[in-house]
């Protein structure tokens, strides 16, 4: 089959809509369940490329959680710690495969943004991954295959309408790509740049050491940015993104947005957050929203003052003060950050440092590179110039 008719395009008024192969060949995808739409397929094809590249670069199973053609999170399949199991709502006794760990980490990076996501898996979806997906609000999943048990589990989601797409792992796209904007056709070469640890060899700072985990984290950050709407900045720690800032017009706003998300991820591991005592039977999205409100200075005061906590928590939570938040975040280290284009000023480094960043990768090439390098040296941050811009639109 070389064509698939869709209900409509980005919006209901945009008809007709379809995906098809211009050369008449068969589509490299098969819909196993549901009826994916235009945006679903945009997320599916972008997210698949991301996880495919991540696995190729790291040798580890990879997963992504996509929303509106940008990743809310991406990760490789490293084991979950006890704290991570708690903040990602995983049964402490659950037996998790590497690909299940990868998706749980990707989904856990920014759970609010991942609400209603499109999931992508580099490996065959197994029952452990499907069982976790079953309880998350999600629009669909793409993977190179599904076990029989996993497919049966996924078919029970959304009253049987959950979108399940299988992609041909061997598919290679054409070297040139085209798109129409306002009736005018654009053509460019497909972005087939390879991102791996060799991109990190040009260390321009006084600090010249990149630990093995930092190399993996910086590669994850760079590959994530390759498929994130620009401008974009990505924070990574221990094999998973913890903050993605996408589609901002200024670089510093990307760094701040991604940094605030990274801070939230770090704060979710604070003892006071881990001690929140939720009422029985609360839904995961309600729990996510409650934690987000609890971590928000103004909204938290309103909830605690007005007694709005009562339908959510068994007991009134103890407030997490601004001083406690700052102290907790300041105690964090070993975070990596990457940017899809050069940092034009040292203020990006200053903001990144506040979220525990010790390692940076960026293309370089700014007329103020010397100022950015000096700012890194001030904090002992190791920074690599990749020489490779990663704009994605």
* Per-position DSSP letters for 179-229, written without gaps between them: EEETTEEEEEE------SGGGG--B-SS-----HHHHHHHHHHHHHHHTSP
Question: Residue 271 is encoded by which pair of tokens?
Answer: 């003892």
Range of the domain at 100: 3-172
> What are the tens digits of pLDDT across the range 142-153?
999 999 999 999
- 181 within some domain: no
CB 104 within 8 A of CB 94: no
Considering the domain architecture, whether residues 237 and 92 belong to the same structural domain is answered as no
Q: Give the pLDDT score at 238.
A: 95
Q: Give the pLDDT score at 299.
A: 74
> What are the tens digits of pLDDT across the range 197-256?
999 999 999 999 999 999 999 999 999 999 999 999 999 999 999 999 999 999 999 999
Considering the domain architecture, whether residues 42 and 156 belong to the same structural domain is answered as yes
- 177 within some domain: no
Cα(379)–Cα(374) distance, integer angstroms: 9
- CA–CA distances in Å: residue 347 to residues 212, 252, 285, 369: 27, 7, 35, 12
* Residues comprising the chain, all counted: 393
> What are the tens digits of pLDDT across the range 11-66?
999 999 999 998 889 999 999 999 999 999 999 999 999 999 999 999 999 999 99
Stretch 151-174: mean pLDDT? 96
Considering the domain architecture, whether residues 89 and 225 belong to the same structural domain is answered as no
- Told to judge if 67 belongs to the known catalytic residues of this protein, a careful annotator would answer yes
Question: Does residue 253 sit in helix, strand or coil?
Answer: helix
Considering the domain architecture, whether residues 203 and 260 belong to the same structural domain is answered as yes
- 208 within some domain: yes
Residues above pLDDT 90, as percent of the chain: 87
Selecting among 67, 85, 215, 226, the annotated active-site residue is: 67
Is the pLDDT assigned to residue 385 strictly greater than 90?
yes
Considering the domain architecture, whether residues 361 and 312 belong to the same structural domain is answered as no
Selecting among 46, 163, 231, 264, the annotated active-site residue is: 231
Considering the domain architecture, whether residues 168 and 297 belong to the same structural domain is answered as no
- Told to judge if 68 belongs to the known catalytic residues of this protein, a careful annotator would answer yes
**CB neighbour list of residue 142: distance below 8 Å, 6 or more residues apart:** 29, 44, 45, 47, 48, 118, 119, 120, 121, 165, 166, 167
- 299 within some domain: yes
- 187 within some domain: no
Considering the domain architecture, whether residues 237 and 375 belong to the same structural domain is answered as yes
- 323 within some domain: no
- What 8-state DSSP symbol labels residue 7? S
> How does the average pLDDT of the chain come out, rounded?
94
pLDDT band for position 2 (cuts 50, 70, 90): confident
Considering the domain architecture, whether residues 228 and 371 belong to the same structural domain is answered as yes
Backbone angles phi, psi at 245, to 5 degrees: -110, 115
- Told to judge if 231 belongs to the known catalytic residues of this protein, a careful annotator would answer yes
Would you tell me how many other CB atoms lie within 10 Å of the CB of residue 224?
Answer: 32
Stretch 172-176: mean pLDDT? 93
Q: Of 284, 317, 350, which residue is a domain's last? A: 317
Selecting among 56, 68, 86, 272, the annotated active-site residue is: 68
Considering the domain architecture, whether residues 83 and 227 belong to the same structural domain is answered as no
Buried b (16+ CB within 10 A) or exposed e, 148-158: eebbebbbebe
Count of alpha carbons within 13 angstroms of residue 238, beta-carbon side: 14
Q: Give the pLDDT score at 362.
A: 97
Is the pLDDT assigned to residue 1 strictly greater than 90?
no
CATH number of residue 137's parent domain: 3.40.140.20
Cα(152)–Cα(146) distance, integer angstroms: 9
- 32 within some domain: yes
Q: State pTM to two decimals.
A: 0.95
> What are the tens digits of pLDDT across the range 113-124?
999 999 999 999
CB 296 within 8 A of CB 304: no
User: How many domains does the chain contain in total?
Assistant: 3
Q: Of 172, 207, 224, which residue is a domain's last? A: 172
Residue 192's nearest CA partner among 52, 61, 73, 383 is 52
Q: Give the pLDDT score at 92.
A: 83
Considering the domain architecture, whether residues 303 and 256 belong to the same structural domain is answered as no
Q: Give the pLDDT score at 309.
A: 79
Strand partners, 146: 125
- 178 within some domain: no
> What are the tens digits of pLDDT across the range 257-312?
999 999 999 999 999 999 999 999 889 899 999 999 899 877 777 777 777 778 88
Considering the domain architecture, whether residues 203 and 116 belong to the same structural domain is answered as no
Considering the domain architecture, whether residues 57 and 99 belong to the same structural domain is answered as yes
């Amino acid at each position: 089959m070389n064509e698939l008719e869709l209900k409509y395009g980005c919006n209901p008024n945009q008809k007709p809509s379809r995906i098809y192969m211009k050369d008449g060949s068969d589509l490299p995808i098969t819909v196993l369940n549901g009826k994916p739409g235009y945006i679903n397929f945009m997320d599916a094809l972008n997210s698949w490329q991301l996880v495919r590249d991540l696995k190729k670069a790291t040798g580890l199973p990879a997963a992504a959680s996509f929303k509106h053609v940008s990743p809310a999170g991406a990760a490789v399949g490293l084991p979950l710690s006890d704290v991570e199991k708690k903040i990602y709502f995983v049964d402490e006794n659950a037996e998790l495969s590497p690909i299940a760990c990868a998706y749980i980490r990707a989904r856990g990076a920014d759970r609010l943004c991942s609400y209603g996501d499109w999931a992508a898996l580099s490996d065959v979806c197994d029952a452990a991954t499907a069982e976790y997906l079953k309880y998350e609000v999600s629009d669909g999943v793409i993977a190179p295959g599904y076990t029989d048990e996993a497919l049966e589990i996924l078919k029970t989601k959304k009253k049987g309408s959950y979108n399940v797409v299988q992609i041909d792992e061997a598919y290679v796209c054409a070297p040139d790509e085209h798109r129409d904007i306002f009736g005018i056709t654009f053509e460019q070469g497909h972005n087939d740049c390879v991102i791996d640890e060799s991109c990190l060899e040009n260390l321009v700072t006084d600090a010249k050491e990149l630990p093995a985990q930092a190399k993996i984290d910086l590669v994850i950050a760079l590959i994530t940015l390759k498929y994130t709407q620009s401008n974009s900045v990505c924070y990574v720690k221990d094999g998973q993104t913890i903050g993605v800032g996408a589609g901002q017009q200024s670089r510093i706003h990307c760094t701040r947005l991604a940094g605030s998300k990274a801070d939230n991820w770090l704060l979710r591991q604070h003892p006071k957050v881990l001690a929140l005592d939720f009422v029985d039977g609360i839904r995961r999205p309600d729990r996510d929203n409650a934690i987000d409100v609890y971590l928000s200075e103004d909204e938290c005061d309103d909830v605690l003052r007005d007694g709005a906590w009562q339908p959510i928590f068994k007991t009134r939570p103890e407030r997490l003060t601004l001083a406690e938040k700052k102290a907790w975040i300041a105690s964090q280290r070993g975070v990596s950050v990457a940017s899809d284009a050069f940092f034009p000023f040292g203020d990006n480094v200053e903001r990144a440092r506040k979220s525990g960043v010790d390692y940076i990768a960026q293309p370089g090439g700014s007329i103020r590179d010397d100022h950015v390098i000096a700012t890194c040296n001030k904090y002992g941050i190791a920074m690599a110039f990749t020489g490779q811009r990663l704009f994605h639109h």
